[in-house]
């Protein structure tokens, strides 16, 4: 498609290129007209300010070339401030100064390249008779030979006369596949932007490819610009090509992973009608396996017998092993440190072995230290390319304020991920735990069959979402062995995000969670199944698991445990104040019930506070300060430090 565009736009560009060249050679006249207009200018020199201080580089924001040794000035003769900003942002001169490249040779090279660079930006605005003048200390850049570059440049003045925008008198593209969405700007009467022409051509080809015509392409273009009438006639002809089906997948590049397993994980739809989305699904399955650092899918240049399209797959495997970790700090609960070790291809078939370890409540003033250790083996493409089989085992040793818990879990299950938005999982697990509290020592043993479903419609990175929503539901039927009760544990959670304001600087975020246990009474329910509220994961400003229920009688009165039902809500207002700095105001609340179905005795508490976020490449560093605003489960201010938003 690149070739058709180069040929097609030539007629429209010829007049503009000649005009721009003439303007560049006019020298003083072009600069004078730009200066006379007043324009929109920006200087790279000047007094230092907070926007250009060393702290601005740490916190983001500020003029990228504010302290550059070269004074860079942009002038647009029609006083179009938005166009002037766009030209300045796309300019190679701006980029060079932002990167600290300010020698005379750097300035000349950037200036000479900026003629075509800025011209492309003007084309995208429908300006085809623009005049561009770039001067280095008063000398036209186009007239300076590359070997005659000045040693130093003190000032660069870019003057642009954008001319009047051109409009479509004809905007045609045919034939178009049913359901193709063409850009709204590609129609008669609209500004004739080159970006809309290219988008229309891409949309037309994509529409046919989505209908199974893998070799659809642009057959010809006819683009005519009338510089007197400031109009453009555009005709784009498409050739759909034959209806195509998938041929064979040829794989290469795998060294430790067997080819048989590679093809199984890919799930290539051989023999099916061509669909680019199915080819993308192959790419995503391979990426989700975690085995590869690079994945390339290349369609054959010509069709095979029966209009079959073969595809070549080339992969590069990642290093076999990986380690990682995380941390979180609370002023009351102490520090938590976690780490993992991962092997990506344990047995040569893509089996992933992961060992996780965590130590919590280090330095806590209310409880002892907690330990967790888990191991899990995943086998992708079990039963189906989108299904992963797994076995896992974990053990926990918790020393909380009101109880001690020792837990062991063995499980086997399947996870299903048909796309990047949906994840389902079910497992059969054996759980055995021992609890020691004021009521004495009690053992719990269950066979459980938890099943969960997650829908992730967040629009941004998961560590700092700004738009969309996230929903999760888990149902866990459990069969008690011995004196342990049997029942059904259900939990649902939803999160929603909405951004608004200039550059979406403000984000409203909300979270709601509810759960209940049916069919079992509290005393015979495993303690780790019961619900608590309080702490960084539920109600900030309240101590961890500080709200529960007091139903079981001990020798000295009721013993505090978790409840049979819970509800939590959280609201946050996030504001991005600088490129890397954000502040957050939040309020959390939680309520616990003693009976199933949100019945029986109940109590609630709430907390509120403020937080600071510092953006990093791996997610924002989070510091929250909160205190209790309702309930009697906590007092004083608490601090929370972690990585990523609270939810």
Q: Are 403 and 370 in contact (CB under 8 A)?
A: no
Q: Which two structure tokens, joined as six digits, stand for 483?
A: 């004196």
DSSP 116-177: HHHHHHHHHTT--S-EEEEEETTEEGGGS-GGG--S---EEEEEEE--PPPEEEEEEEES--
Mean pLDDT of 370-378: 97
pLDDT on residue 187: 95
> pLDDT over 70 for what percent of the chain?
90
pLDDT above 80 (res 59): no
For the purposes of burial, counting CB atoms within 10 Å of the CB of 81, is it exposed (0-12), middle (13-18) or buried (19 or more)?
A: exposed
190 or 536, greater pLDDT: 190
DSSP type of residue 489: E
- Kindly tell me if the per-residue pLDDT of 38 is higher than 70: no
Model pLDDT, residue 393:
98
Point out the least confidently predicted range of 30-39, 287-296, 386-395, 573-582: 30-39
pLDDT of residue 9: 41
Of 116, 220, 125, 235, the closest CA to residue 169 belongs to: 235
pLDDT of residue 61: 54
Residue 409 phi, psi (nearest 5): -135, 135
Give the Cβ contact number of residue 145 at 10 Å: 7
Per the structure block, which two tokens stand in for 248?
A: 């064979």
All structural domains of the chain with their residue ranges? 71-161, 167-239, 245-317, 320-437, 441-646
Question: How much of the chain exceeds pLDDT 90, in percent?
Answer: 76
DSSP calls for 491-520:
EEEEEEEEEESGGG-EEEEEEEEEEEEESS
Residue-wise pLDDT tens digits, 559-608? 889 999 999 999 999 999 998 999 999 999 999 999 999 999 999 999 99
Q: Is domain 441-646 in CATH 2.40.160.50, yes or no? A: yes
CATH class of 320-437: mainly beta
pLDDT of residue 281: 95
Q: What's this model's pTM, rounded to 2 decimal places?
A: 0.76
- Residue 617 has a pLDDT of 87
Q: Tokens representing 524?
A: 């015979």
C-alpha dist (Å) from residue 225 to 2, 8, 191, 588: 20, 11, 12, 61
CA-wise closest residue to 344 among 307, 304, 308, 315: 315
Are the C-beta atoms of 194 and 123 separated by less than 8 Å? yes
Return the pLDDT at 400. 84
- Residue 491: strand, helix, or coil: strand
H/E segment holding residue 194:
helix 194-210
At 511, is the pLDDT very low, low, confident or very high (cuts 50, 70, 90)?
very high
How would you class 423 by CB atoms within 10 Å of its CB: exposed for 0-12, middle for 13-18, buried for 19 or more?
Answer: middle
Residue 613 neighbours by CB distance under 10 Å:
24
Q: Are the CB atoms for 80 and 38 separated by under 8 Å?
A: no
Burial (CB count <10 Å: 0-12, 13-18, 19+), residue 576: buried
Secondary structure letter of residue 274 according to DSSP: P
pLDDT digits (tens, 9 = 90+) for 433-481: 999 988 889 999 999 999 999 999 998 778 889 999 999 999 999 999 9
- 245-317: CATH topology is Ubiquitin-like (UB roll) (3.10.20)
Res 64: pLDDT? 64
Specify the higher pLDDT residue, 334 or 489: 489
The rounded radius of gyration (Å) of the Cα atoms in the chain is: 32
Give the model's confidence band at 166: pLDDT under 50 very low, under 70 low, under 90 confident, else very high: very high
CATH 3.10.20 corresponds to the domain 167-239 = yes
Do you find a cis peptide bond into 175, omega within 30 degrees of 0? yes
DSSP state of 644: S
- Pick 386 or 460 by higher pLDDT: 386
Pull the structure tokens for residue 529.
């199944």
Distance between CA atoms of residues 6 and 197, nearest Å = 12
Residue pair 297/279 in contact (Cβ under 8 Å)? The answer is yes
pLDDT at 18: 28
Shared fold status for 245-317 and 320-437 = no
What tokens does 442 get?
């009690």
More confident residue, 565 or 58: 565
Higher per-residue confidence, 450 vs 403: 450
Q: What local confidence, expressed as pLDDT, does residue 32 receive?
A: 29
Distance between CA atoms of 10 and 517, rounded to whole angstroms?
71
Token code pair at residue 218: 């642009």
Residue range 402-430: average pLDDT?
Answer: 95
pLDDT band at 63, cuts 50/70/90?
A: low
């Amino acid at each position: 498609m690149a070739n058709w565009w180069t040929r097609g736009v030539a007629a429209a560009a010829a007049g503009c290129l000649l005009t721009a060249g003439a303007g560049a050679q006019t020298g003083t006249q072009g600069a004078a007209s730009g200066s006379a207009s007043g324009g929109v200018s920006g200087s790279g020199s000047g007094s230092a300010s907070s926007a250009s201080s060393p702290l601005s580089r740490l916190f983001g924001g500020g003029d990228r070339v504010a302290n550059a040794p070269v004074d860079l000035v942009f002038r647009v003769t029609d006083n179009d401030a938005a166009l002037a900003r766009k030209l300045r942002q796309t300019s190679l001169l701006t980029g060079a100064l932002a990167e600290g490249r300010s020698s005379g040779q750097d300035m000349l090279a950037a200036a000479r390249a900026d003629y075509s660079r800025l011209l492309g930006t003007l084309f995208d605005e429908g300006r085809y008779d623009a005049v561009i003048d770039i001067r280095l200390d008063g000398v036209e850049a186009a007239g300076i030979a590359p070997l005659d570059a000045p040693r130093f440049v003190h000032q660069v003045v870019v003057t642009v006369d954008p001319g009047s925008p051109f409009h479509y008198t004809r905007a045609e593209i045919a034939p178009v596949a049913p359901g193709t969405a063409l850009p709204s700007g590609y129609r008669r009467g609209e500004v004739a932007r080159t970006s809309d022409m290219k988008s229309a051509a891409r949309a037309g080809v994509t529409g046919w490819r989505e209908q199974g015509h893998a070799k659809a392409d642009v057959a010809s273009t006819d683009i005519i610009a009338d510089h007197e009438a400031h109009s453009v006639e555009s005709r784009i002809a498409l050739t759909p090509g034959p209806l195509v089906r998938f041929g064979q997948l040829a794989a290469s590049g795998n060294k430790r992973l067997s080819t048989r397993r590679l093809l199984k994980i890919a799930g290539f739809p051989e023999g099916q009608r061509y669909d680019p989305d199915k080819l993308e699904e192959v790419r995503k399955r391979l990426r989700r396996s975690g085995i590869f650092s690079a994945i390339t899918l290349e369609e054959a240049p010509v069709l095979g017998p029966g209009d079959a399209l073969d595809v070549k797959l080339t992969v590069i495997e990642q290093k076999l092993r990986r380690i990682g970790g995380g941390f979180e700090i609370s002023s009351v609960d102490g520090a938590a440190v976690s780490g993992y070790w991962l092997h990506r291809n344990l047995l040569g078939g893509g089996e992933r072995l992961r060992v996780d370890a965590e130590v919590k409540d280090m330095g806590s003033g209310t409880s002892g230290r907690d330990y967790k250790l888990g191991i899990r083996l995943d086998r992708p493409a079990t039963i189906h390319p989108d299904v992963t089989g797994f076995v896992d085992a974990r053990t926990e040793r918790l020393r909380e304020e009101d109880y001690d818990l020792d837990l062991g879990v063995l499980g086997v299950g399947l996870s299903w991920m048909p796309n990047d938005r949906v994840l389902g999982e079910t497992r059969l697990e054996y759980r055995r735990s021992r609890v020691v509290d004021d009521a004495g020592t009690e053992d719990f043993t269950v066979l459980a069959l938890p099943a969960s479903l997650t829908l992730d419609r967040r629009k941004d990175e998961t560590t700092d979402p700004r738009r969309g929503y996230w929903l999760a539901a888990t149902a866990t039927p459990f069969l008690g062995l011995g004196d342990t009760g049997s029942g059904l544990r259900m939990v649902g959670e939803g999160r929603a995000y909405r951004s608004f304001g200039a550059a979406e600087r403000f984000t409203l975020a909300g979270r709601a969670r509810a759960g209940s246990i049916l069919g079992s009474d509290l005393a015979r329910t495993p303690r780790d199944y019961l619900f608590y509220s309080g702490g960084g994961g539920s109600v900030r400003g309240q101590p961890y698991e500080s709200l529960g229920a007091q139903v079981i009688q001990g020798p000295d009165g009721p013993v505090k445990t978790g409840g049979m039902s819970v509800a939590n809500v959280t609201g946050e207002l996030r504001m991005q104040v600088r490129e890397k700095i954000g502040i957050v105001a939040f309020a959390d609340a939680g309520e616990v019930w003693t009976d199933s179905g949100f019945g029986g005795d109940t109590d609630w508490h709430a907390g509120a506070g403020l937080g600071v976020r510092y953006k990093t490449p791996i997610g924002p560093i989070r510091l929250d300060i909160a205190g209790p605003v309702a309930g009697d489960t906590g007092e004083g201010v608490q601090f929370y430090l972690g990585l990523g938003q609270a939810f």
